[in-house]
Amino acid sequence: MSEASGEASASARGRAAGLLEGFDGSLVPVIVASTAVVVFGGLVQVSFGTFSMTVMEAWRAVLDPDIWGHPGLLAEFFLGDAIGGAVAAQFGWTTDVELAHETIIVWTVRLPRVLVAILVGANLAISGAIFQAVTRNELASPYILGVSSGAGLAILLTLVVFSGLTAFLPILAALGGTTAFLIVYVIAWKGGTSPVRLVLAGVIVGTVFQSLQTGIFFFADDLGVVQSAIAWTTGSLTGTDWEQVRLALPWTLLATVLALAGSRQLNVLLLGERTARSLGMSVERVRFALSAVAILAAAAAIAVAGIVGFVGLIVPHMVRTLVGSDYRQLIVGCLFVGPALMVGADVGARLAMDPVQIPVGIVTGLVGGPYFLYLMRRQEQLGDL
Amino acid sequence: MTGNDAETRRDSDGDHSEESDTDRDDSAAETTGERRARDEVTEPARTPALHGEKLELGYPATAEPVVETERVDVPAGEVTALVGPNGSGKSTLLKSLAKQLEPEAGEVLLDGEAISEYGSKEFAREVGMLSQENEAPGSTTVEELVYHGRYPHRGFFDAVTQADDEAVDRAIELAGVDHLRDEPVGDLSGGQKQLAWIALTLAQETDVLLLDEPTTYLDLHHQLRVMEVVRELNEEAGVTVAVVLHDIAQAARFADNLIAMKEGAVYDWGPPRKVVTEALLEDVFDVVASVDTDAPDGPRIHPHRPVE
């Protein structure tokens, strides 16, 4: 039937149109407002610190033509000294540029933290949005299927027991989260899964892992280790650098593309399992694949920032109230609102208690909790999707 | 007697479309009027029909099969209604025909081929199924909902094609929800919602349509609307329909064939004038009733009292 119409040129054109299909005006103000928050928050972040400058100076440093005019420098920032340097050499780009003091501070110290916040916010938001559709539960978050507890346990094990592996902490945290998710899936599987069984298995695995995690805390004999563990398990952007940008960026792009491509599947999943099945969806396969995309996004966020709470839970809500529940729009909205919330929260985390920096997860919790309460009061039915 | 009669008929093998023709000739009223005319148009041999053989259906939680039947047929190009009291296994049987429930034993065939051999999307292009209760996010518009019916026709990265647009337009028009096209489903009445969901199933453009109690919670107006849509689809596009109906009187008026179920077994099947008898109402539905077989629009049932 429809396969017959699969001509190459026609399908290519159709694919391009497919990306734009289903957009309406409600998304535009969301994108504009979120971008404004990111830009403003980012400027505040790069202006203030031990070396303070005015917002105009900071702005000029961000847009410094010495950086933007030298692709070799950008390559080194985004691809790392090794690969970026090789690319620059290949194209004959110079990387030996005399930069202004402000530019150096902004570009090497402060800007990467803003970029990491953007990536983490986007990842957590799309991850939460996907999990809310997969479990058909509005209260689902990126951490619903045991991810946070698995990652937390891996973090504690690395810091306290296998301290030789600390260099691999980000990867191990992401792996821990993924492992916990797989365990949850196996537990929930009984000739197939169901949203309820997945959530319950997530709670069970979460409880067990949480206990183990708390148990390991007991064996930490160094206050520094404990603080480091707390920063990781509550989520923090302190000390993030270009290395973290480079670590998260490729996975973020991959997860974003997959999430956008899967948005129609998510919409069909929202019609319920039976309908999805009678429309010919292989529900189990799609559910697992989409969960895997969500885990990928969550793991990318955990690897660079630890377990930042509430962002993945509330951002999809905020976007849903603004643009409706069509996932083709919801995912796009999340890609903007997530970074806005994360950049905003990190301003608070870094500057509110200056000179002490608090983990950004504490701020998102303080903002997210009351917002969630407000949602609960305003909406009659919160829960089922 | 009807039970035994059905048994013999089921056991006799041969082409089922021939069989149903014989059934039809048995009752004089069937040879007249629109039903006859429709048969000449649709050529049943070309459209597929569902056929279940030696089925045993159950759920993981139940030890005994819920439904056991030697043979069940959904004749091509006709409307077949599954009737029976609550818990008689009508919906379970329909689910197995829709490939939503794998039989513990036996096989369901579509057009002579086992449905387990079909890929899930491939099957969804042949057989559409509307479940009894359906939920969609309230902000989804009717049009968006109906576009989901094109799911089995689209690849993972495929955009909407002209064929999709046309199918959606046809489905919306046939279901009579054109004026509700841009309304969010959350704002619709129960009956309007049901018509929107029927439009989604129609957009699948299947040759076979299975409906699980599509009229149960609707007001009379919308019950008739739904039945009219199904009738039109059957008459104009030759779509084979199997529908679970709660109301035997409605089924008797509406369907070409009835499958009457009792306690997980097929009690009798055939054209309404043959199946709907006082004995059936007493045995299957526990109702003492008289049946007026000569009424022009199918047998009419006058229920008197429940069987003690």
pLDDT of B48: 45
Average pLDDT over residues A185-198: 84
Per-residue pLDDT band for A148 (boundaries 50, 70, 90) equals confident
Q: Give the confidence band of A256 by pLDDT, cuts at 50, 70, 90.
A: very high
Round to whole Å and give the CA distance between B170 and A160: 65
Do B128 and A274 make contact, defined as CB atoms within 8 angstroms? no
Would you say A30 and A333 are in contact if contact means Cβ atoms under 8 Å apart?
A: yes
- Burial label for B19, CB within 10 Å (0-12, 13-18, 19+), is middle
Predicted pLDDT at A137: 81
Best residue of B92, B123, B145, B157 to probe chain A, by most A CBs closer than 10 Å: B157
pLDDT tens-digit series, residues A350-377:
888 877 888 999 999 898 888 878 877 7
pLDDT at residue A21, rounded to an integer: 52
* In chain B, alpha helices (H): 2-11, 16-26, 33-42, 90-97, 120-126, 142-147, 162-174, 190-203, 220-237, 248-254, 272-275, 278-283
CA distances from A295 to A128, A144, A299, B222 (A): 10, 11, 6, 45
What does the mean pLDDT of chain A come to? 85
Contact between A267 and B60 using a beta-carbon 8 Å cutoff: no
How far is the C-alpha of B52 from the C-alpha of B259, rounded, in Å?
13
Contact list, B135 vs chain A (CB under 8 Å): 271-272
Top pLDDT among A291 and A5 is at A291
Cβ–Cβ below 8 Å for A268 and B148: yes
**Residue in A closest to B204 by C-alpha:** A279
Separation in Å, CA of A187 to nearest CA in chain B: 17
pLDDT computed for residue A380 by the predictor: 62
How many beta carbons lie within 10 A of that of residue B162, not counting itself? 9
CB A233, CB B98: distance < 8 Å? no
Of B124, B137, B157, the CB nearest to A18: B157
Q: Taking CB atoms and an 8 Å limit, are A274 and B153 in contact across chains?
A: no
Identify whether the C-beta of residue B38 lies closer than 8 Å to the C-beta of residue B233: no
A19–chain B nearest CA distance, Å: 8
Task: Compute the nearest-CA separation of B194 from chain A (Å).
Answer: 14
Q: CA-to-CA distance for B162 and A119, rounded, in angstroms? A: 38
Quick one: pLDDT band at residue A381, thresholds 50, 70, 90?
low
B233 compared with B46, residue with greater pLDDT: B233
- Closest-CA residue of B relative to A8 is B158
Contact A278 B124 (CB under 8 A): yes
Instruction: For the sheet with B105-110, list strands across it.
Output: B67-74, B50-57, B105-110, B113-114
Burial-class residue A25 by CB neighbours within 10 Å (0-12, 13-18, 19+).
exposed
Q: Is the pLDDT of residue B41 over 80?
A: no
CA distance B161 to chain A (A): 7
Name residues 269-308 of chain A within 8 A of B (Cβ): 270-272, 274-275, 277-282
Q: Residue range B194-209: average pLDDT?
A: 93
Residues of chain A with Cβ-Cβ distance to B140 below 8 Å are: 324-326
- The span from the CA of B182 to the CA of B144, in Å, is 8
Distance from the B144 Cα atom to the nearest Cα atom in chain A, whole angstroms: 9
Nearest residue of A to residue B143 by CA position? A22
CA separation for the pair A34, A31 (Å, rounded): 5
Residue of A nearest to B164 (CA): A2
Specify the pLDDT at position A70. Answer: 87
Q: What is the mean pLDDT of residues A29-55?
A: 90
% of chain B with per-residue pLDDT over 70: 84
pLDDT class of A81 with cuts at 50, 70, 90: confident
Domains and CATH numbers, chain A: 110-378 (1.10.3470.10)
CB of B131 less than 8 A from some CB of A: yes
Rounded to two decimals, what is the model's pTM? 0.82
Q: What is the rounded average pLDDT of the residues A28-33?
A: 92
Transcribe B166-231 into DSSP letters.
HHHHHHHHHTT-GGGTTSBGGGS-HHHHHHHHHHHHHHT--SEEEEESTTTTS-HHHHHHHHHHHH
- B135, HSE (Cβ side, Cα atoms, 13 Å): 9
- The interface residues of chain B toward chain A in range 72-111, judged by CB-CB distance below 8 A, are 98, 100
Give the separation between CA B115 and CA A206, rounded to whole angstroms: 40
Contact B161 A2 (CB under 8 A): yes
Q: Which residue of A has its CA nearest to B210?
A: A278
d(CA B299, CA B276): 7
Average pLDDT, chain B: 82
- What is the side-by-side strand order in the sheet with B127-130? B127-130, B208-212, B240-244, B79-83, B257-262, B265-270
User: How confident is residue A384, by pLDDT bands cut at 50, 70 and 90?
Assistant: low
pLDDT of residue B7: 40
Kindly state the helix (H) or strand (E) to which residue A112 belongs, with its residue range.
helix A111-134
Q: Which one of B139, B151, B158 has the shortest CB-CB distance to A324?
A: B139
In A, minimum Cα distance to B121 occurs at A280
What integer pLDDT is reported at residue B46 of this predicted model?
A: 38
**Alpha carbon of B126: minimum distance to chain A alpha carbons (Å):** 10
Using a CB-CB cut-off of 8 Å, the residues of chain A touching B152 are 279-280
- Identity of the residue in A11, A190, A275 whose CB atom sits nearest the CB atom of B131: A275
- Which ipTM score applies to this complex? 0.78
Closest residue by Cα to residue A122 from A289, A249, A2: A249
Cβ-Cβ contacts under 8 Å, A2 against chain B: 153-155, 158, 161, 163
Question: Taking CB atoms and an 8 Å limit, are A279 and B134 in contact across chains?
Answer: no
Interface test with A, best of B145, B161, B200, B210 (most A CBs within 10 A): B161
Q: What local confidence, expressed as pLDDT, does residue A249 receive? A: 92
- Residue among A149, A147, A127, A129 nearest A138 (CA): A129
A2-11, A259-268, B169-178, B198-207, range with the lowest pLDDT: A2-11
Residues 6+ apart with CB under 8 A from B108: B50, B51, B52, B53, B55, B96, B97, B99, B114, B115, B116
Q: Which domains does chain B have, with CATH numbers?
A: 2-306 (3.40.50.300)
How far is Cα B97 from Cα A281, in angstroms, rounded to an integer?
Answer: 17
Q: How many residues in chain A?
A: 385
List, in order, residues 6 or more apart from A159 with CB less than 8 Å away.
A166, A169, A220, A225, A228, A229, A232
In whole angstroms, give the CA distance from residue A101 to residue A382.
51
- Cα–Cα nearest to A133, from A23, A285, A290: A290
Taking only the tens place, the pLDDT of each residue in B57-100 is 988 777 788 888 888 889 999 999 999 998 888 999 999 999 98
* Mean pLDDT (whole number) for A77-83: 87
- What percent of chain A is modeled with pLDDT above 90? 32
Instruction: Inspect the interface and report whether the beta carbons of A2 and B163 lie closer than 8 Å.
Output: yes
In this structure, is the dihedral angle defined by the CA atoms of residues A176, A177, A183 and A187, taken in order, positive or negative? positive
Please give the distance of CA B149 from its chain centroid, rounded to a whole number: 18
Tell me which of B96, B129, B133, B135 to substitute to probe the interface with A (most A C-beta atoms closer than 10 Å).
B135
- Number of residue pairs across A and B with CB atoms under 8 Å? 96
Give the residue among A295, A144, A163 at the shortest CA–CA distance from A228: A163
- Helix (H, G, I), strand (E, B), or coil: what is residue A69? coil
Taking alpha carbons only, the member of B3, B118, B16, B6 closest to residue B74 is: B16
- Do A15 and B157 lie within an 8 Å CB cutoff? yes
| Tokens representing residue B18 in the block | 């021939």
- Tokens 């110290």 found at: A109
pLDDT of residue B4: 43
Using an 8 Å CB-CB cutoff, list chain B residues near A280.
119-125, 151-152
- The pLDDT, as a whole number, for residue A363 is 92
> Do A120 and A308 form a contact (C-beta atoms < 8 A)?
yes
Which of A20-34, A116-130, A212-226, B98-112 reaches the highest mean pLDDT?
Answer: A116-130
Average pLDDT over residues A304-332: 90
Torsion angle, alpha carbons of B20, B22, B24, B28, to 10: 180
Chain B CA closest to residue A268: B148
What is the per-residue pLDDT for A217?
A: 83
